[in-house]
């Protein structure tokens, strides 16, 4: 192959240009994302049961739906929350790679089986099944800077004019308005006034249903009609009402004197809000906060770009006094992180250029391997299209690391050609002779590097996706590098390389000084190698010690999944005492907002009142803050990093003892849970009460708090929410002629509110709601003042046959995989990893959970547990494939051991580097270690290949062959290795967005390659000698056995 391209240089250039142009074309169409598609697909089921408390929702809705959904194909777990506002939300999580459309159909069909068993009011309110992504893409704030509009108008303006357009944007999965105030026609009832007139809430409801109807009245003259009818008229009947006045005119009853009692005579009608359970603010200003969630599988950056363009158009037509602001854009982190990786790529190329020039000492020679970089790297993107990859942090990591690899093959070729030219051979002959020597190693190195990653194709789940995109990107670039080394590089060597002329000037002095120093280094190196190959036990002993050290480091080094990053925002949640009113919660939030905004590094704060961001539930005693930080380039100091700001705010929030404050970072993988850290589910599997589950969870929390590995363990589960129970004397009610159903109906209407029917406004449909005026439902004693009508028409207060009892119970009931659960959130303490924290929490569970209780992991922790079982498999299979490729290359089962036994050097260096920097052995480190197996094998191949040729083809003794191979390949090994090592430095010293993952991977690869190179050049000749001598001894033993005479011959 190389011979063809040496004599057809134009053909070689054309091939490379085609690869380059194809890659450039692919770059223009590839999507950009933070990660590959690694978030498990999720389907959400939502039901509303107006007026029901959490226990009622659980017993009537949760149990019925979850029984039919359990066991859905490819489901990995499900979790639900039943709230005291009547909401039920179930999230079903599926394996990565599941077709979410088919899963949605399956879940919807299963829900339909449960609908006949659900309460009629819940079914009428609506049961929805949607593809859901917990990956929040953006928060859009709509507010009135001059307070010219109230919160009801702002919320409805956002709903009518913005939300629908946002929902239609490609890539948007769902939206949610925090502080939503959808219009409703409110009938505010006065129980005392109605009782005086002998009217019940049911009478008002019936009157509305009777007179607010949408009835088609037909037409006059429509077919079939008699002959001669010339016109047809559609009949319009004012059935459905629209305004406060029209609803106020509803006739409630006719009085004995013939006068008419209308609704406005006994109630107050008002166009107001349907719900008042939450509020939103931006920097303390009332706002409608539109949370936009990404559609599963959509490209976040493209979707965000579309939304910004849309909002610019919609903002231009907003009325005066109303403005919008994209308060949070989570894709800014993705863009910033990718920019940082691109900067690292630029720096890596410059550092590699410097190393190549120093070793080759010629601009001509340096130009050739550097031309391999754009062809191999940009050409790699062409493979992304058929593979379905995106430009993300993993693929860009692979591109950065590939910089030092793709020049290796070209350097090997150039260095070999230069070596022959220096001996007086013409460039053409030197190129042909060099290619005969190095074509085998070039192909072998490429195959070995790819072989390391072959097992990745068989690994499923999130870990498999993370490995796969990195591995295949690197493999494609390596294969293209080999192609360039066998085509373009030899063609350019023939055309460009000339007999070496001494470089003049400062650069010449630098090169000459470098070569003199390198010459002395080479002499010292060869003298050490000569000593080691004659005393094999020393080299083997060092290798054994480092191998044992690798095992020790792997055992004791903290492990993790993926590191938490500074995403540019984080969450804070206040939980006031159980039962605290929304007004009280709002007042506390108003005190905290200025404190947050005054913190150095904070740009904005979004307040979500009545909502818990970490659990996704609404409760009057909760308020969530989304703390948005200034851009990363404005936060260069350690005090303005996210971790430091979080610690400052924790100290600030300690000033508010009336509330439990929790500060949490977003999950490191978007969509994998509601916050970073670990999520642990304490499950009640014995049918205990909510209070008993709460007590067990508190004992577990107390046990966990004693573990030094765990930081800030907390649980949002509460079972002591103040509640009231109405104890009805059913016998007495029966004696009075009162139906129990009438009592419950009156309670639902006056206290919970009843959605009677609908009306139309602004082209939309809204609810008609009847409920008692706020002053008649402010205290528990007022419940007794609600009247119901007896069978003989008398009005009797509820206090006549019922009493109020105080109790406590859960405000939200959580279930995980069909069992009641209490979710425990925690983070690793400083100096500890997530793996150590997981182990500590499992130990605490074993000590504190009584019989009938168990636990499961969810979110990131679940994935980390799953990943732990695949890491050993990946490493083992990688080693196995490398061995098989080497065995095929050398046609020997023994020689590959000379390469394989040197791999622990790289692993030791990687783990030692991670340990010295206080980092964690996470997925990024493990990906780097897998790659190191191929890189370390590459250096060994260069020595073993040449030593074996000297021994087998030229008959040189084993030790002399090893020394000759080491001498010949020492310079190209150091050149290629240090080109790679320096190319990794930008990752090692990374800062800014996404720096945690870059530092981990860069440190692992830098440390591993440094040790594998610096010690490997000494150990590999020793291993080669050891293996060859073992083969020779075995061969002599076999020959001796064959030469022994048989007993008959003797």
Question: Distance between CA atoms of 160 and 165, rounded to whole angstroms?
Answer: 9
Question: Distance between CA atoms of 526 and 65, rounded to whole angstroms?
Answer: 75
DSSP state of 456: G
Distances (CA, A) of 1010 to 913, 940, 966: 10, 14, 18
Q: Can you tell me the mean pLDDT for 737-760? A: 87
Is 1-37+340-354+365-497 in CATH node 1.20.1640.10? Answer: yes
- The conformational region for residue 708 under phi > 0 = left, psi -120 to 50 = alpha, else beta, is alpha
Predicted confidence (pLDDT) per residue in 120-155, tens digit: 888 888 899 988 776 788 899 999 988 889 889 999
Q: Can you tell me the mean pLDDT for 953-960? A: 78
Is 568-664 in CATH node 3.30.70.1430? Answer: yes
Query: Bridge-partner residues for 814, per DSSP?
Result: 81, 821
Size of the chain in residues: 1050
CATH architecture, domain 40-132: 2-Layer Sandwich (3.30)
Which CATH superfamily, name and number, covers 521-556+892-1041?
Multidrug efflux transporter AcrB transmembrane domain (1.20.1640.10)
Predicted confidence (pLDDT) per residue in 250-289, tens digit: 999 888 888 889 999 999 999 999 888 888 899 888 999 9
Question: What pairing do the DSSP bridges indicate for beta strands 819-828 and 710-715?
Answer: antiparallel
Burial of 260 per CB tally in 10 Å (0-12, 13-18, 19+): exposed
Contact 39, 670 (CB under 8 A): yes
DSSP state of 457: G
Measured CA angle at 719 (ends 715, 725), to 5 deg: 160
Which residues, including other chains, have CB under 8 Å from residue 188's CB and lie 6 or more apart?
A: 267, 268, 269, 270, 771, 772, 773
- State the pLDDT confidence band at 594, using cuts at 50, 70 and 90: very high
Question: Distance between CA atoms of 50 and 85, rounded to whole angstroms?
Answer: 7
Distances (CA, A) of 756 to 17, 167, 182, 264: 71, 28, 16, 17
Question: CA nearest 838: which of 818, 871, 866?
Answer: 866
For tokens 């108008």, the residue is: 153
- State the pLDDT confidence band at 461, using cuts at 50, 70 and 90: low
Residue 476 has pLDDT above 80, yes or no: yes
Main-chain dihedrals φ then ψ at residue 105, nearest 5 degrees: -65, -45
Between 993 and 71, where is the model more confident?
Answer: 71
Measured CA angle at 1017 (ends 1016, 1018), to 5 deg: 85
Three-state secondary structure call for residue 749: helix
* Whole-number pLDDT of residue 1047: 46
Question: Distance between CA atoms of 728 and 456, rounded to whole angstroms?
Answer: 65
Which residues, including other chains, have CB under 8 Å from residue 446's CB and lie 6 or more apart?
A: 409, 478, 479, 481, 482
Q: Domains of the chain: which residue ranges?
A: 1-37+340-354+365-497, 40-132, 185-214+241-273+722-809, 521-556+892-1041, 568-664
DSSP string, 518-540: HHHHHHHHHHHHHHHHH-HHHHH
Highest-scoring range by mean pLDDT, 482-496, 535-549, 618-632: 618-632
* Whole-number pLDDT of residue 929: 83
Contact 634, 569 (CB under 8 A): no
Residue 922 has pLDDT above 90, yes or no: no
Residue 664 has pLDDT above 60, yes or no: yes
Tokens of 275: 């719900």
Distances (CA, A) of 925 to 8, 642, 847: 43, 23, 33
Tokens of 379: 């050409």
DSSP state of 504: P
Question: Distance between CA atoms of 222 and 232, rounded to whole angstroms?
Answer: 6
Query: How many other C-beta atoms lie within 10 A of the C-beta of residue 872?
Result: 10
DSSP state of 884: H
Residue 501 has pLDDT above 80, yes or no: no
DSSP string, 913-978: HHHHTT--B-HHHHHHHHHHHHHHHHHHHHHHHHHHHHHHTT---HHHHHHHHHHHHHHHHHHHHH
This prediction's pTM: 0.77
Predicted confidence (pLDDT) per residue in 697-716, tens digit: 999 999 988 888 888 888 88
Question: CA nearest 481: which of 934, 951, 1037?
Answer: 934
Contact 83, 619 (CB under 8 A): yes
Main-chain dihedrals φ then ψ at residue 174, nearest 5 degrees: -160, 165
Question: Distance between CA atoms of 300 and 133, rounded to whole angstroms?
Answer: 12
Predicted confidence (pLDDT) per residue in 362-389, tens digit: 777 778 877 878 888 888 889 888 888 8
Tokens of 491: 């063609």
**DSSP-H helix ranges across 44-140:** 54-57, 63-69, 100-114, 120-125
Question: Distance between CA atoms of 522 and 510, rounded to whole angstroms?
Answer: 18
* Whole-number pLDDT of residue 437: 75
Question: Distance between CA atoms of 44 and 173, rounded to whole angstroms?
Answer: 12
- State the pLDDT confidence band at 102, using cuts at 50, 70 and 90: very high
Cα distance between the two ends of the chain: 58
Question: Distance between CA atoms of 926 and 561, rounded to whole angstroms?
Answer: 10
Q: Can you tell me the mean pLDDT for 319-331? A: 90
Question: Distance between CA atoms of 447 and 444, rounded to whole angstroms?
Answer: 5
Tokens of 575: 């939980």
Residue 500 has pLDDT above 80, yes or no: no
Q: Do domains 1-37+340-354+365-497 and 521-556+892-1041 have the same CATH topology?
A: yes
- State the pLDDT confidence band at 504, using cuts at 50, 70 and 90: low
Tokens of 245: 């006045």
Residue 967 has pLDDT above 50, yes or no: yes
Main-chain dihedrals φ then ψ at residue 472, nearest 5 degrees: -70, -35
* Whole-number pLDDT of residue 269: 93
Between 301 and 437, where is the model more confident?
Answer: 301
Please identify, in words, the CATH class of the domain defined by 185-214+241-273+722-809: alpha beta
Question: Distance between CA atoms of 409 and 723, rounded to whole angstroms?
Answer: 74
Candidate from 53-57, 975-979, 1005-1009 with smallest mean pLDDT: 975-979
Share of the chain above pLDDT 90, in %: 19
- State the pLDDT confidence band at 722, using cuts at 50, 70 and 90: confident
* Whole-number pLDDT of residue 236: 78
Per-residue three-class SS string for 219-249: EECCCCCCCCCCCCEECCCCCCCCCHHHHHC
Query: How many other C-beta atoms lie within 10 A of the C-beta of residue 547?
Result: 16
Question: Distance between CA atoms of 456 and 472, rounded to whole angstroms?
Answer: 9
Question: CA nearest 203: which of 777, 774, 749?
Answer: 749
For the chain, percent helix, then strand, then coil, each to nearest 5? 55, 20, 25
Predicted confidence (pLDDT) per residue in 193-228, tens digit: 898 888 999 899 999 999 998 877 788 888 887 777
Q: Can you tell me the mean pLDDT for 815-832? A: 86
Burial of 893 per CB tally in 10 Å (0-12, 13-18, 19+): exposed
Residue 871 has pLDDT above 60, yes or no: yes
Three-state secondary structure call for residue 270: strand
Question: CA nearest 55: which of 25, 22, 86?
Answer: 86
Q: Can you tell me the mean pLDDT for 406-430? A: 78
Q: Torsion angle of alpha carbons 419, 422, 425, 429, nearest 10°?
A: 30
Q: Can you tell me the mean pLDDT for 596-613? A: 90
Tokens of 126: 């609506």
Residue 497 has pLDDT above 80, yes or no: no
Residue 743 has pLDDT above 70, yes or no: yes
Question: What pairing do the DSSP bridges indicate for beta strands 764-772 and 183-189?
Answer: parallel
For tokens 């460009």, the residue is: 496
- Bond prior to 139 in cis (omega within 30° of 0): no
When the pLDDT of each residue in the chain is averaged and rounded to a whole number, the result is 83
* Whole-number pLDDT of residue 1046: 47
Question: Distance between CA atoms of 825 and 612, rounded to whole angstroms?
Answer: 14
């Amino acid at each position: 192959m190389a011979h063809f391209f040496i004599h057809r240089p134009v053909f070689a250039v054309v091939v490379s240009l085609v690869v380059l142009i194809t890659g450039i074309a692919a770059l223009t169409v590839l999507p950009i994302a933070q990660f590959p598609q690694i978030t498990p697909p999720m389907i959400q089921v939502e039901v509303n049961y107006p007026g029901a408390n959490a226990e009622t929702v659980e017993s009537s809705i949760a149990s019925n739906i979850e029984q039919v959904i359990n066991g859905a194909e490819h489901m990995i777990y499900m979790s639900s929350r039943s709230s005291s506002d009547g909401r039920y939300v179930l999230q079903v999580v599926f394996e990565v790679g599941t077709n979410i459309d088919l899963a949605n159909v399956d879940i919807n069909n299963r829900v339909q089986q449960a609908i006949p068993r659900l309460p009629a009011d819940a079914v009428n309110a609506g049961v929805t099944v949607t593809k859901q992504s917990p990956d929040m893409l953006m928060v859009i704030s709509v507010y009135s800077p001059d307070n010219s509009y109230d919160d009801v108008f702002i919320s409805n303006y956002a709903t009518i004019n913005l939300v629908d357009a946002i929902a239609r944007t490609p890539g948007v999965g769902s939206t949610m308005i925090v502080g939503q105030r959808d219009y409703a026609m409110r009938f505010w009832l006065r129980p005392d006034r109605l009782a005086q007139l002998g009217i019940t809430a049911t009478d008002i409801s019936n009157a509305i249903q009777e007179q607010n109807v949408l009835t088609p009245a037909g037409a006059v003259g429509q077919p079939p009609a008699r002959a001669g009818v010339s016109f047809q008229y559609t009949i319009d009947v004012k059935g459905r009402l629209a305004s406060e006045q029209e609803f106020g005119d509803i006739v409630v009853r006719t009085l004995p004197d013939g006068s008419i009692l209308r609704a406005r005579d006994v109630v107050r009608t008002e166009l107001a809000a349907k719900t008042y359970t939450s509020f939103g603010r931006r920097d303390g200003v009332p706002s409608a906060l539109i949370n936009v969630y990404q559609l599963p599988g959509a490209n976040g950056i493209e979707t965000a770009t579309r939304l910004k363009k849309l909002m610019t158009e919609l903002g231009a037509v907003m009325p005066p006094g109303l403005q919008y602001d994209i308060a949070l854009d989570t894709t800014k982190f993705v863009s910033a992180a990718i920019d940082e990786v691109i900067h690292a790529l630029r720096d890596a190329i410059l550092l590699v250029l410097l190393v190549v020039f120093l070793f080759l000492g010629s601009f001509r020679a340096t130009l050739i391997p550097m031309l391999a970089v754009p062809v191999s790297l940009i050409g790699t993107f062409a493979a992304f299209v058929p593979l379905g990859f995106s430009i993300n942090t993993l693929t860009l990591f692979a591109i950065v690391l590939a910089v030092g690899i793709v020049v290796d093959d070209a350097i090997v070729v150039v260095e070999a050609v230069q070596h022959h030219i220096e001996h007086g051979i013409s460039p053409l002959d030197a190129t042909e002779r060099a290619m005969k020597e190095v074509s085998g190693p070039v192909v072998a190195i490429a195959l070995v590097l790819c072989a390391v990653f072959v097992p990745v194709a068989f690994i499923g789940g999130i870990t498999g996706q993370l490995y796969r995109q990195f591995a295949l990107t690197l493999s494609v670039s390596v294969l293209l590098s080999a192609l360039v080394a066998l085509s373009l590089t030899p063609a350019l060597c023939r055309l460009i390389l000339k007999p070496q002329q001494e470089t003049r000037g400062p650069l010449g002095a630098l090169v000459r000084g470098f070569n003199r120093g390198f010459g002395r280094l080479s002499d010292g190196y060869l003298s050490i190698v000569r000593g080691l190959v004659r005393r094999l036990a020393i080299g083997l002993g060092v290798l054994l010690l480092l191998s044992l050290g690798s095992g020790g480091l792997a055992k004791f080094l903290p492990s993790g999944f993926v590191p938490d990053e500074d995403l540019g925002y984080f969450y804070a949640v206040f939980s006031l005492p159980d039962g605290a009113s929304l007004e009280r919660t709002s007042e506390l939030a108003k005190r905290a907002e200025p404190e947050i905004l005054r913190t150095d590094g904070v740009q904005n704060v979004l307040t979500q009142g009545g909502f818990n961001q970490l659990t996704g539930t609404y409760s009057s005693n909760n308020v969530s803050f989304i703390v948005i930080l200034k851009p990363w380039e404005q936060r260069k100091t350690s005090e303005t990093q996210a971790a430091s700001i979080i610690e400052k705010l924790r100290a600030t929030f300690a000033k508010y003892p009336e509330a439990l404050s929790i500060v949490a970072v977003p999950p490191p993988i978007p969509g994998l849970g509601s916050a970073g850290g670990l999520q642990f589910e304490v499950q009640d599997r014995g049918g205990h009460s909510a209070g008993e589950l709460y007590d067990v969870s508190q004992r577990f929390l107390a046990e966990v708090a004693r573990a030094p590995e765990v930081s800030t363990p907390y649980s949002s589960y509460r079972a002591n929410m103040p509640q009231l129970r109405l104890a009805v004397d059913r016998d007495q009610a029966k004696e009075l002629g009162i139906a129990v159903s009438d009592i419950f109906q009156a309670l639902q209407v006056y206290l919970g509110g009843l959605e009677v029917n609908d009306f139309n406004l602004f082209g939309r449909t809204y609810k008609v709601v009847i409920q008692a005026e706020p002053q008649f439902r402010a205290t528990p004693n007022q419940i007794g003042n609600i009247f119901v009508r007896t069978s003989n028409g008398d009005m009797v207060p509820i206090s006549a046959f019922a009493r109020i009892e105080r109790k406590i119970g859960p405000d939200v009931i959580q279930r995980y995989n069909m069992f009641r659960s209490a979710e425990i959130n925690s983070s690793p303490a400083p100096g500890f990893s997530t793996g150590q924290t997981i182990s500590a929490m499992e130990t605490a569970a074993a000590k504190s959970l009584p019989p009938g209780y168990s636990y499961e992991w969810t979110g990131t922790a679940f994935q980390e547990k799953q990943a732990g079982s695949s890491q050993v498999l990946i490493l083992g299979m990688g080693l196995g494939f490398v061995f098989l490729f080497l065995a095929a290359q050398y046609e020997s089962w023994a020689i590959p051991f000379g390469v394989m036994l040197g791999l622990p050097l790289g692993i030791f260096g990687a783990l030692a580097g991670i340990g010295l920097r206080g980092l964690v052995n996470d997925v990024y480190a493990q990906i780097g270690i897998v790659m190191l197996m191929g890189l370390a094998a590459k250096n060994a191949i260069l020595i073993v290949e040449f030593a074996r040729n000297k021994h087998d083809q030229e008959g040189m003794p084993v030790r002399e062959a090893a020394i000759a191979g080491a001498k010949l390949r020492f310079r190209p090994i150091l050149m290629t290795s240090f080109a790679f090592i320096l190319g990794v430095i930008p990752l090692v010293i990374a800062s800014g967005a996404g720096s945690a993952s870059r530092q981990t991977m860069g440190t692992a690869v830098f440390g591993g390659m440094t040790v594998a190179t610096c010690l490997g050049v000494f150990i590999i000749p020793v291993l080669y000698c050891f293996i060859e001598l073992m083969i020779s001894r075995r061969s002599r033993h076999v020959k001796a056995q064959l030469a022994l005479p048989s007993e008959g011959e003797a």
